[in-house]
Structure 1
């Protein structure tokens, strides 16, 4: 709530600074053009009137420039960290997969060894009688 009221007061204070050619305070409007839909701008009270003044100033910073470079740098760092994490998880997955294969081979070896021992002990048992 406090952030919103401070934002509103910032716009009001900015509007006092923006006086058009008529000496009127500019008002905050929203663009409905194809190239800037929803973008906010300061315009003259008579902006839409045919013989009105052409005062115009964007309210939000233009996308690109320093802000965009900071965002790109942050995203690059995130991507680098995610790639490192992915490599770590892949290594662990390979290790677990190898352990599973070794475990199954060991299990099958013990199972077959046990069956071989049972057959052999049954044969020996019959041979002693």
Structure 2
């Protein structure tokens, strides 16, 4: 059967649609410009590349053109924001890495100052305590 076929069979016991493989058809959601958020039945093996290409709409087409346009615009806005979020995650990870490096450099510098200056300050501190 070709992709886009609307033939279906229902199992006798459960009332669920079965694909041509005899498996319970899965319910998916289309996000194409022509059918935004429209649900359909498909072979559960289709996404793995070995399905029977069973297809039928879950419901009758509903909605007006402005509703479809609004859904498409919302989908596109969500995708845009998802891309921005991913970019921000990368930036945050880079900044955290830079911060950790700076903190390690600061600790190293503090250790060098402490060890290099300790002998010269030690006698002064000793004199202050004994007076």
* TM-score grouping bracket, smaller chain normalisation: 0.3 to 0.5
**Structure showing greater relative contact order (alpha-carbon pairs closer than 8 Å, 6 or more residues apart):** 2
Query: Larger % of helix: which?
Result: 1
Greater Rg over alpha carbons, structure: 1
Q: If the length of structure 1 is used for normalisation, what is the TM-score?
A: 0.42
